[in-house]
Amino acid sequence: MGRSKADGGAGVRERILAAAGALFAEQGYDATSVQQVVDRAGVTKGGLYHYFGAKEDLLVELYRAVFGQRLAALEKILAQGRDPEWTLRAIIDDIVVGTAAMMTESAAVSRELAHMDSDRTQRLQADWRRYQEAVRGLIRDAQAAGVFAAVASPELVSWSIFGVTTTLHTWYRPDGPQSADQIARELADLVLTGLTARP
Partner DNA sequence: CCGTCAATACCGACCGGTTGGTATGTAGCT
Partner DNA sequence: AGCTACATACCAACCGGTCGGTATTGACGG
- Give least dist CB 45 to DNA, A: 4
- Give least dist CB 6 to DNA, A: 11
Letter for the amino acid at 74? L
Segment 97 to 136, residues that bind a second copy, using CB under 8 A = 111-112, 114-115
157 contacts a second copy (rule: CB under 8 A):
yes
Segment 30 to 49, residues that bind DNA, using CB under 7 A = 32-36, 38, 43-47, 49
193 contacts DNA (rule: CB under 7 A):
no
> What is the per-residue burial (b if ≥16 Cβ within 10 Å, else e) of 139-165?
bbebbeeeebeeebebeebbbebbebb
117 three-state secondary structure: coil
Segment 54 to 113, residues that bind DNA, using CB under 7 A = 54-56
- 60 versus 92: smaller Cβ distance to DNA: 60
Q: Which of 126, 31, 130, 132 is nearest to 91 (CA)?
A: 132
Letter for the amino acid at 174? P
The partner in contact with residue 191, picked from a second copy, DNA, none with C-beta cut-offs of 5 to 8 angstroms by kind, is: a second copy
- 7 versus 26: smaller Cβ distance to a second copy: 26
9 contacts DNA (rule: CB under 7 A):
no
Q: How far apart are CA 98 and CA 65, in angstroms?
A: 11
Q: How far apart are CA 140 and CA 117, in angstroms?
A: 30
- Give least dist CB 108 to DNA, A: 14
- 8 versus 176: smaller Cβ distance to a second copy: 176
Q: How far apart are CA 17 and CA 37, in angstroms?
A: 9
170 contacts DNA (rule: CB under 7 A):
no
- Give least dist CB 160 to a second copy, A: 6
Cβ(153)–Cβ(147) below 8 Å: no
- Give least dist CB 22 to a second copy, A: 14
The partner in contact with residue 136, picked from DNA, a second copy, none with C-beta cut-offs of 5 to 8 angstroms by kind, is: none
For the chain, state the CA radius of gyration: 19
Phi, psi of 143 (to 5 degrees): -70, -40
